[in-house]
Structure 1
Amino acid sequence: MFASLNNQDRCGRGHSSSVFRIRSRLGFSRLELVVVTAIISFLCGLSVSYLRGLSLKSKATVCRENLRQLSLGMLLYINESDGRLPYASLVQNTRSQSTWDTLVSPAVRSQLKSPDPNVAAPPQSKVNELLLCPADRVKPADWAAKYKLRRRTYAMPQHDMRQANWPPGPDNATGVGLWWSFGSKGTNQPSSLIYNAEEPTKQASVRTGMILQPKATILLAEQAKTNNIVANGQGSTINCAADHLDTALLPLKNYHQGKFNYLMVDGHVEFLSPDQTVGATGEAGDNPRKHLGMWTIRAKD
């Protein structure tokens, strides 16, 4: 009897010991847990970085499509205006102003309209959606927010409207965006000086015939700033390749990863870094504020 009990006791103890040993092998040491945690954290970091990259790429693609849609309206406006590009702005006073987006808006709506004659043209709000890049999270300036005005991302390269580049012509070392201010007594007043245009056109304009490299001349660029407001002269022009962003509000790396979409005069869109736009010879590489390359009407500078 004692032998039987001893055998049972031995079997019991042997079974418990076996279970203990198996459980020991299935567990993790503290070092192993640290290593596994580090690997999981690393993989999570890679996933977040990858997903962020996909998000930025997706926003850049939508932005590109915005400009393609706007280009259809731009080209229709130009064709119906005897080759004249829209003005960046025509400001009578603070209550009466036209900008490139209001000038081409009817043409954009026409291009967006369904071929079905029974379907109405899309509302202006649809055009306004095209004016804002999804990566542009900058809030409107206080004066605009007060009146619930909408932001706009895109702007025309500014024409300096100085004597050296006047009247508009193919040798202008400046941008295509004329900005008239009729209410002021400044130098940028209306003029009958025009380049190679027939009567009765008296208003000075930039025309497609002046632009010898339409595929390498910027018509619209991105300018994600607080004062770039729909249907407003402020922000309707961008001065140079250094003025795309207010980096204090929106870091460059968070906006298309340092690149921008550019609509060219011929209607196609390029996705480039700013230093790729500032000169055929690269001489402006250290100074993106120079007016060279795709930012000027003048060819091959």
Structure 2
Amino acid sequence: MKTHFLRRAWSRSGFTLIELLVTISIIGVLATLILGASTAARKRADTAVCLSNLRQQSAVFAIYAAENDGSLPAALGNVDPYNSGTLVSWMMVVQYYAQMNFPKDRQRNILLCPSAMQTYPGKVARRTYAMNVAGGAGNTPQKLARFTKPSTTALVVDARAVGTAGDSSSTFGLSDINTTPEWRHQGALNVLFVDGHCQTMPASAKTDFQRYVQNFAP
């Protein structure tokens, strides 16, 4: 009797093949759910970091304007603060005022959107934003006071890579409004406006975005 009881107890102590397969399936489903939640959380965090970058850029622009008669740096054609013999884009001005070294690939800085790591060739990214030059060539500094609609005028946006060095185009305008801005935040675009506020614009707001870009024109 005792031997029979032990044999029955032992027979119930292991998994059947069906139970094992069901358990593996449940673990697989849970892993997928956890991974999906983790990926979504990372993407939301990247979007938040990108918005923080734009806010810090806005602070740099405010400091620059305070020291330059209320003008923003030109999108292009600024005197290089490191070497007065050359002309540079607004990015170099931001680097100088933010006391940044020239960024390396994947180096955390206020000109690098972390989401660009997933969209740039070879995941090489270091400076990933473009300034609006709608209505001009971008060589002339613009005074903040001239903007009549600063809260609805796009200034800096997420931008696509140019080549494989990890940099975006430094400017964009009406002619490349559909090619340079990169809607890389799960189909959305982060935008810094002239008044200093930042916004994540969904793909459904592309018509509004075009108007915000056009508002930059003198």
Letter in 2 for 1:154: Y
Contact 2:95–2:102 (CA<8 Å) still a contact in 1? no
Contact 1:84–1:205 (CA<8 Å) still a contact in 2? yes
Match of 2:129 in 1: 154
Displacement after TM superposition at 1:107 (Å): 3.1
Contact 2:152–2:215 (CA<8 Å) still a contact in 1? no
- Mapping of residues 83-122 of structure 1, within 5 Å: 83-90=70-77, 96-109=86-99
Task: Indicate how the Cα distance of structure 1 residues 53 and 38 shifts in structure 2: closer, same or farther if over 3 A, else same.
Answer: same
Partner Cα separation in structure 2 for residue 229 and residue 214 of structure 1: 33
Farther off after superposition, 268-277 or 35-44: 268-277
The reply on whether 1:43 has 2:18 as its aligned counterpart is: no
Instruction: Indicate which of 212, 220, 224 corresponds to 2:156.
Output: 220
Letter in 1 for 2:34: S
Superposed CA deviations along residues 27-85 of structure 1, whole A, max 9, x for unmatched, are: 22222222111111000000111111121122222222111111111112223333323
Contact 1:99–1:236 (CA<8 Å) still a contact in 2? yes
Match of 1:190 in 2: none
Q: TM-score, normalised by structure 1?
A: 0.58
Higher-Rg structure is 1
Contact 2:133–2:216 (CA<8 Å) still a contact in 1? no
Superposed CA deviations along residues 237-287 of structure 1, whole A, max 9, x for unmatched, are: 133255334xxxxxx6xx4322232111111111222432532xxxxxxxx
The reply on whether 1:54 has 2:41 as its aligned counterpart is: yes
Partner Cα separation in structure 1 for residue 171 and residue 216 of structure 2: 18
Between Structure 1 and Structure 2, which shows a larger proportion of helix residues?
A: 2
Displacement after TM superposition at 1:229 (Å): 6.7
Unaligned 5+ residue runs, structure 2? 80-84
Number of aligned positions between the proteins: 203
Contact 1:241–1:277 (CA<8 Å) still a contact in 2? no
Match of 1:174 in 2: none
Partner Cα separation in structure 2 for residue 98 and residue 130 of structure 1: 18
Superposed CA deviations along residues 147-204 of structure 1, whole A, max 9, x for unmatched, are: xxx731111123243xxxxxxxxxxxxxxxx434xxxxxxxxxxxxxxxxxxxxxxx5
Instruction: Indicate which of 258, 276, 284 corresponds to 2:205.
Output: 276
Unaligned 5+ residue runs, structure 1? 1-13, 110-122, 162-177, 181-203, 246-251, 280-290
The reply on whether 1:179 has 2:159 as its aligned counterpart is: no
Q: TM-score, normalised by structure 2?
A: 0.77
Match of 2:114 in 1: 134
Identity %: 26
Match of 1:236 in 2: 170
Match of 1:116 in 2: none
Superposed CA deviations along residues 111-148 of structure 1, whole A, max 9, x for unmatched, are: xxxxxxxxxxxx535898211112222258xxxx9xxx
Contact 1:152–1:228 (CA<8 Å) still a contact in 2? no
Letter in 2 for 1:243: T
The reply on whether 1:293 has 2:208 as its aligned counterpart is: no
The structure 1 segments of at least 4 consecutive aligned residues displaced by more than 6 Å after TM superposition are none
